[in-house]
């Protein structure tokens, strides 16, 4: 699978470079005009990327399995389901399905009728993250609860002897 993943990553990079090469240096926004050669290069790069993705995940179930393994690995790295995020307006990192970035967000409103807002470019955008990264304060609070639980359990064990 490693070679297929490397092939997909290379195709994604090449496609991105093809897109960037077609945008004039002084272009700010709006329509980008390309010539036939640039168009054909963009089409080839897009097709190569789609084929590499199909080679890595030929079926719907293959894609679901890979997505599941990615979520499992992110949880192993400390991420948690977004529904367990702080609901006090504090900021935390999130991962949104379909995005390759880690974004700063907060939960706004009352659970479960509120929602997540991602801060980007000086604005807030609605989001539907799948995972969030616990803050240092949450991790410290959890470790403190574990410590207290162990102390109580040890005391009860010695009192019961």
Answering whether pTM is above 0.95, one says no
- Angstrom distance (rounded) from CA 128 to CA 38: 35
- Report pLDDT digits (tens) over 98-121: 999 999 999 999 999 999 999 988
Mean pLDDT across the stretch 9-29?
92
- Angstrom distance (rounded) from CA 61 to CA 125: 31
- Angstrom distance (rounded) from CA 151 to CA 146: 9
Q: Is residue 47 pLDDT above 90, yes or no?
A: yes
If we measure between CA atoms, which residue out of 125, 132, 88 comes closest to residue 107? 88
- Angstrom distance (rounded) from CA 155 to CA 149: 10
To the nearest whole number, what is the mean pLDDT of the chain? 94
Least reliable range by pLDDT among 6-10, 70-74, 149-153, 156-160: 156-160
């Amino acid at each position: 699978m490693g070679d297929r993943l490397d092939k997909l990553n290379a195709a994604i990079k090449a496609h991105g470079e093809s897109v960037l090469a077609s945008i004039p240096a002084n272009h700010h926004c709006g329509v980008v005009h390309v010539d036939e050669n640039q168009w054909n290069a963009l089409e080839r790069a897009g097709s190569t990327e789609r084929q590499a993705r199909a080679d890595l995940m030929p079926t719907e179930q293959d894609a679901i399995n890979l997505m599941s393994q990615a979520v499992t690995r992110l949880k192993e790295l400390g991420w948690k389901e977004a529904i367990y995020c702080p609901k006090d307006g504090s900021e935390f990192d999130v991962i949104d399905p379909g995005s390759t970035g880690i974004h700063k967000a907060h939960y706004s409103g009352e659970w479960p009728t509120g929602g997540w807002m991602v801060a980007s470019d000086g604005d807030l955008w609605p989001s539907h993250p799948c995972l969030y990264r616990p803050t240092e304060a949450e991790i410290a609070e959890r470790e403190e609860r574990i410590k207290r639980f162990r102390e109580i359990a040890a005391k009860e064990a010695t009192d019961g002897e």
